Structure 1
Amino acid sequence: MSSAPPADPAGAPGPTVYRAAVVHTGHISLRPGWVAVVDGAVAAVGEGAPDAAWAAAEHVDLGERTVVPGFVDLHCHGGGGAAFGAGHDAATVVGDARVVAATHRAHGTTTLVASLVTAPLEQLHASVLALAPLVESGELAGVHLEGPWLSPLHRGAHAPALLREPLLDDVDLLLGARPGVVAVVTIAPELPGGLEAVRRIVEHGAVAAIGHTDADAATAVAAVDAGATLATHLFNAMPPVHHRAPGPVLALLEDDRVTVELIADGVHLHPLTLQHAARSAGPRRTALVTDAMAATGVADGEYLLGALVVDVLDGVARVRDDGAIAGSTLTLDHALQGAVAAGVPFEDAVAALTTTPARVLGRTDVGALEPGARADLVVLDEALAVVAVVQGGRSVAVAAPALHQASQA
């Protein structure tokens, strides 16, 4: 796990070694541990004292703190008062996206997927094209289409008039707009043409996620057989578990081919439900996500989520018309704290924020502190609060205490 420092090109910053009481690589904990960073990448990781080869490097002693990989969020709609894809022109979409990314980066999220709520096809198409340069430059990890191919019976905070059946031509339009930009698509597989659409989504190289669905257990399994590998915010926006009709929840939770998203904000899931699901799926199949909307990191008040008016009170977002939960005001540092408080082991919770979501995206360069990976580090104190963030070897601003944080249910 260690090696001698490479020679630095002229003008590049020299190697830096971060030392801490605990370094969790995303796979194992090193006590004490150290991470060597050169040119924005992890060059070496080790336990105990750093190798003598790194004696000349700059050393940053973090004391009793814990270092973990930068967080990876598969499902995020907004933050800092802005939302992905809400602008009417490409420049606004890009500007808003950078506000969202900066808001979550200050809480430790260094790899972020931009989630778009249901909108007219032409607007989704334009948003995908506008966000494409940010994906291709690495500022975003991809686009997530959460809609429009969702069940009207479990629409959550999606405008019912804009929901559609998944026609293959429409799938091709959005996923083919800029190949490789759309990384995840949430779909209700029981809709007419749903299973064919799952196959087409996978053919485009995107992850097919089952969510906002009225599928029974058999249909959920059929969708997994067709190529779906992710469950969008498990339990939410789908039929509840019944002892004679388990629905999609148990089918997805028990299938080793499926990674399940969980929202650890104390609102979407009771702590016992969160603990049970994380234990059942295990750290390799659990991905903690935020499903955050524009109010994240800013004040309560009135916001728009797509076409719907949302009221945020005490950090809880609900659609004004029907009271449906409208995403969250969660950040992944608070998701880590919420998961651990619910009984999820720290090491498992870290994996659910790092290595597991990175694997869902097919990424090996983020989500882990391993030689060759991008140098994304989050420094935590004893209370698991973020005290420092490094992205690509560079320190970034850390958020002040949140204006509001939803209490545990």
Structure 2
Amino acid sequence: MTVVSGVRVVAGDRVIDNGFVRIEGDRIAEVDASDKSENDGHTVVPGFVDIHVHGGGGATFTTGDPVDARRAARYHLGHGTTTMLASLVTSPPELMMSATKAFAPLVAEGLLAGVHFEGPYLSQARCGAQNPAHLRHPSLDELSALIEAGEGAVRLVTVAPELPGALAAIRLLVDRGVVVALGHTDATWEETLAGIEAGATVGTHVFNGMRPPHHRQPGPVFALLGAATVTCEFVADGVHLHDGTLAFAASVTGPGRAALITDAMAAAGMPDGEYELGGQTVEVAGGVARLTKDGSIAGSTLTMDKALRRAVGAGLSLVDASRMASGTPAAAIGLGDELGTLRAGQRADLVVLDEDLNVQRVMRAGAWV
């Protein structure tokens, strides 16, 4: 048994100023107020859940290399991310298949919560840093083969709903238990709503990689923010979104439909310089990653602890920001009953933060890491 006490505990929608968390095995056994008066100034929040991350610490998920995947997962774990999807980028069919097969054992092991395909079924006009050479229309055969090869590893797929065959692909994925996100899209408001009606329940880094909103042509941004069934991803790094945009968008969705993500690439935690993403060259300067060829934002160098601090700095409460970093993304990928909140019965994933919300210790499944 482990007891973390003398701390402020962020447990769901409440803050226990002088609380404790009791862990038995890999589970949380109890969360409550302490009868002791001391508080060491630390705060305990649930382990972060990043449902959109391409790499970090000099390692990438995008090549399908399991050794690199372990390095990237280890790097983000050190920053409090106890649950993550391995996000791939637009790639040839052979790489998508080989990466799926390579990562399936890591998912079965519990290192990864699943695989996220950000592409290749995306808009040419809104592809951003995705490699346009490998974009294609949705294929039911390709998707079925990937799902079969993954044996449960494929958990999230981003699709542009306006593409030919997209709605049928969304229905297939949902029928097979895969969560669908809408993103990298030039869809109209109506086309976006059609994708939601077909079963999509996530918006991929909303505002980024999609037709911008206009008061006469609302497009995907307004449709996603306004849809009660959709969880909207936000990259809280001050580059992808202005802090005012983040605060406004979160006020529209509420913390129950807003998920902080990193969209991090291999350069996270590494020096400025030249990197690779999906076969394209990326230049990182001042911690900002952009494609060398046209300056498009190419993921980020963000970590989830930085995203949490940025959200709080933008005016969100710690309770709301914590939910956006843990409980909401966990629920978005179907893991809300297992993790993402500090409550009895959940997996014992927690992060100890200092007064400035910097990570001090990380626990995953009851073990300090």
Whether TM exceeds 0.5 here: the answer is: yes
* Partner Cα distance (2:178, 2:163) in 1: 19
Equivalence for 1:42: 28
SS of the counterpart of 2:149? coil
1:70 aligns with 2:47: yes
Q: Aligned AA for 2:356?
A: A
Residue 369 of structure 1 deviates from its aligned partner by 1.3
| Structural RMSD (CA) | 1.2
> Which structure 2 segments of 5+ residues have no match?
none
Equivalence for 2:99: 127
Q: Aligned AA for 1:146?
A: E
* Partner Cα distance (2:364, 2:140) in 1: 38
Structure 1 segments, 4+ long, off by >4 Å, are none
| Equivalent of residue 83 in structure 1, options 60, 71, 80 | 60
Alignment check: 8 A CA contact 2:255 2:328 kept: yes
* Partner Cα distance (1:163, 1:245) in 2: 26
Equivalence for 2:174: 202
Residue 44 of structure 1 deviates from its aligned partner by 1.0
Q: Aligned AA for 1:77?
A: H
Alignment check: 8 A CA contact 1:179 1:204 kept: no
Q: Deviations over 1:306-350 (max 9, x none)?
A: 111000011100001111000000000000011111111211100
Q: Aligned AA for 1:81?
A: G
Q: Deviations over 1:118-140 (max 9, x none)?
A: 11011101100100011111110
SS of the counterpart of 1:152? coil
* Partner Cα distance (1:85, 1:260) in 2: 23
Equivalence for 2:234: 262
Equivalence for 1:137: 109
Q: Deviations over 1:3-33 (max 9, x none)?
A: xxxxxxxxxxxx1111133101233211211
| Equivalent of residue 133 in structure 2, options 141, 144, 161 | 161
Alignment check: 8 A CA contact 2:8 2:39 kept: no
Equivalence for 1:177: 149
SS of the counterpart of 1:36? strand
1:303 aligns with 2:289: no
1:193 aligns with 2:165: yes
| Equivalent of residue 224 in structure 1, options 167, 181, 196 | 196
Equivalence for 1:406: none
Alignment check: 8 A CA contact 1:233 1:260 kept: yes
| Equivalent of residue 290 in structure 1, options 246, 262, 269 | 262
Alignment check: 8 A CA contact 1:274 1:342 kept: yes
* Partner Cα distance (1:288, 1:97) in 2: 21
* Partner Cα distance (1:271, 1:376) in 2: 28
> Which structure 1 segments of 5+ residues have no match?
1-14, 51-60, 88-92, 397-409
Alignment check: 8 A CA contact 2:52 2:85 kept: yes
SS of the counterpart of 1:20? strand
Q: How many residues align?
A: 367
1:211 aligns with 2:183: yes
Residue 114 of structure 1 deviates from its aligned partner by 0.4
* Partner Cα distance (2:308, 2:232) in 1: 16
Equivalence for 2:75: 103
* Partner Cα distance (1:135, 1:151) in 2: 29
Alignment check: 8 A CA contact 1:176 1:204 kept: no
SS of the counterpart of 2:122? coil
Alignment check: 8 A CA contact 2:62 2:277 kept: no
1:378 aligns with 2:355: no
| TM-score normalised according to structure 2 size | 0.97
Q: Aligned AA for 1:381?
A: D
Q: Deviations over 1:342-397 (max 9, x none)?
A: 1112111000011111111211221111112111110111111111111112111x
Equivalence for 2:301: 329
Alignment check: 8 A CA contact 2:55 2:266 kept: yes
Equivalence for 1:272: 244
Q: Deviations over 1:64-123 (max 9, x none)?
A: 211001000000000011100415xxxxx1110110011101110000110001110111
Q: Deviations over 1:138-181 (max 9, x none)?
A: 11000000010000000011111100000211111222212311
Q: Deviations over 1:186-212 (max 9, x none)?
A: 000100011111111111211100000
Residue 62 of structure 1 deviates from its aligned partner by 6.5
Q: Aligned AA for 1:314?
A: G
